[in-house]
């Protein structure tokens, strides 16, 4: 009987390894694995696949499968979740801190052992047996702690008497193959997370697709958003470095988060300025995009006002910034030297938008746009005349949000 069971495990192993050659979603593989295990007689009723991840928002991810569900679902644990009572009292934390690769608990019968709160909850739900298997991944890199890397797979059943020895053998036999498949997919996702976090979605995707040579790039039409922090020289000279860094990040949250929500992509943080692009093709797209951008501008200054009100109450320095908007052809591409490239956006449209933003304070507004932007929604903008931009030969017609418009209400001059 044992030989037959192990033969079935070999079939599952072979299937798992073949999956690693494609581009599958890990949750799809895990769901099909659970169904295959049920098919060969392993009585799992609940399964979880956990792993840590490098992501600015999440510290770990987990795929959940329950026998009555028709799919496995992917969930995330945020960094602050590590301080919750649930995590502090969890079997997984116990395994990691004690370097355990296996944790098995019978939840009924003579060998019953319920020493974690989660196990109490599972027993109350009718679970009779719990098995957690951990496989670590070696991670090269000076100063990198690899003790928490790898996967932990949890198998549970509700059959009277729990898992048999043969069930346990099958689950342990497939652990290595599942680990290899998981590592392949997880490492690719981590790479994507890192690249997109530091370069942005479009730039990151371009780099991952192989556009890594000096000069690689493409020309497209885009609405460009440029924002710069006001009074940064005073702030850097009067605030401790950690306080200025916190203030700078709060500014970026106000100046960039609303734009990201409506489809903008941050291409660069330039000191205390931020450059955001909204690629577009047709005029219809431009009109819809303009509405979203005006809404995002209003939200930016709402966030600023809320932040400043809190700072004002504490007698702390407040945030002030301007936003410039321009529209035109831009070039997404690699610049630098072959040994150190930056994927960014360049062109006269970008140069002009920086100069446009610089005029916001002198013209008594927080927002200025070129005529090309204002022409999409002329009723939402009012002209402030033609002005010279540094490095531009001819005067440029500029516009500010029309008083009474959604944006102008929140973007009045300080």
Mean pLDDT of 70-77: 86
Confidence bin at 411 (pLDDT 50/70/90): very low
What's the pLDDT at 409? 42
User: What mean pLDDT comes out for the span 79-91?
Assistant: 69
pLDDT band at 413 (very low <50, low <70, confident <90, very high): very low
Distances (CA, A) of 15 to 10, 37, 47, 136, 246: 9, 12, 19, 22, 50
Pick the range with the lowest mean pLDDT from 81-85, 105-109, 301-305, 329-333: 81-85
Cα gap 329→8, rounded to integer Å: 60
Indicate the helix (H) or strand (E) that contains 200.
none
Range name among 7-21, 280-294, 301-315, 372-386 with the lowest pLDDT average: 7-21
pLDDT at 292: 94
Which has more pLDDT, 187 or 32? 32
Residue 3 has pLDDT above 50, yes or no: no
Could you count the other beta carbons within 10 Å of the beta carbon of residue 125? 12
More confident residue, 44 or 12: 44
* 14 burial level (CB within 10 Å; 0-12, 13-18, 19+): exposed
| Contact predicate 355/394, CB 8 Å | no
The yes-or-no verdict on residue 341 having pLDDT over 80 is no
What are the strands, taking DSSP E only, across 107-237? 129-135, 151-157, 217-229
Going by pLDDT thresholds of 50, 70 and 90, the confidence category of residue 212 is low
pLDDT surpasses 60 at 293? yes
Tens of pLDDT along 356-406?
999 999 998 999 999 999 999 999 999 999 999 988 888 999 999 986 554
What is the band of 79 on the pLDDT scale with cuts at 50, 70, 90?
A: low
pLDDT digits (tens, 9 = 90+) for 224-235: 999 999 998 889
User: 321-350: string of b/e by CB count within 10 Å (b at 16+)?
Assistant: bbbbbbbbebebbbeeeeeebebbbebebb
Residue ranges of the domains in the chain?
2-197, 200-410
- CATH number for the domain running over 2-197: 3.30.450.40
Residue 273's nearest CA partner among 209, 346, 358, 374 is: 358
Among the listed residues 92, 132, 130, 133, the one whose alpha carbon sits nearest the alpha carbon of residue 109? 130
Is residue 148 over pLDDT 70?
no
Q: Are 26 and 186 in contact (CB under 8 A)?
A: yes
pLDDT band at 101 (very low <50, low <70, confident <90, very high): very high
* Selected residue with higher pLDDT from 253 and 22: 253
CATH number of 200-410: 3.30.70.1230
pTM: 0.66
């Amino acid at each position: 009987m044992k030989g037959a069971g192990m033969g079935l495990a070999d079939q599952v192993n072979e299937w798992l390894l073949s999956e690693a050659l494609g581009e599958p979603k890990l949750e799809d593989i895990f769901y099909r694995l659970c169904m295959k295990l049920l098919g060969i007689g392993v009585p799992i009723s609940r399964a979880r696949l956990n792993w840590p991840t490098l992501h600015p928002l999440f510290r770990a991810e987990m795929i959940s499968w329950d026998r009555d569900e028709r799919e496995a679902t992917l969930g995330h644990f945020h960094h602050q979740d590590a301080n919750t009572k649930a995590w502090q009292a969890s079997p997984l934390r116990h395994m990691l801190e004690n370097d355990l690769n296996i944790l098995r608990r019978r939840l009924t019968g003579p060998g019953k052992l319920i020493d974690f709160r989660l196990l109490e909850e599972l027993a109350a739900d009718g679970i009779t047996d719990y098995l957690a298997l951990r496989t670590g991944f070696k991670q090269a890199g000076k100063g990198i702690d690899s003790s928490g890397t790898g996967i932990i797979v949890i198998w549970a059943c509700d059959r009277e008497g729990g898992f048999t020895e043969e069930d346990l053998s099958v689950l342990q036999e497939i652990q290595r193959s599942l680990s290899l498949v998981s590592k392949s997919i997880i490492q690719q996702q981590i790479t994507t997370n890192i690249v997109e976090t530091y370069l942005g979605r479009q730039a990151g995707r371009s780099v991952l697709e192989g556009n890594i040579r000096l000069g690689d790039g493409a020309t497209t039409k885009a609405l460009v958003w440029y924002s710069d922090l006001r009074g940064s020289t005073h702030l850097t000279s009067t605030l401790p470095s950690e306080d200025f860094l916190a203030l700078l990040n709060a500014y970026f949250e106000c100046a960039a988060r609303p734009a990201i929500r409506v489809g903008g992509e941050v291409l660069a943080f330039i000191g205390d300025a931020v450059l955001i692009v909204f690629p577009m093709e047709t005029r219809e797209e431009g009109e819809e995009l303009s509405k979203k951008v005006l809404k995002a501008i209003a939200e930016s200054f709402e966030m600023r006002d809320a932040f400043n009100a809190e700072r004002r109450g504490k007698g702390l320095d407040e945030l002030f910034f301007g936003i410039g908007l321009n529209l035109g052809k831009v070039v997404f591409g690699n610049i630098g030297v072959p040994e150190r490239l930056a994927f960014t956006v360049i062109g006269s449209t970008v140069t002009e938008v920086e100069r446009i933003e610089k005029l916001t304070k002198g013209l008594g507004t927080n927002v200025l746009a070129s005529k090309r932007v204002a022409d999409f929604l002329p009723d939402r903008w009012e002209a402030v005349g033609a002005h010279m931009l540094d490095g531009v030969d001819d005067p440029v017609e500029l516009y500010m949000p029309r008083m009474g418009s959604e944006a102008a209400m929140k973007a009045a001059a300080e």
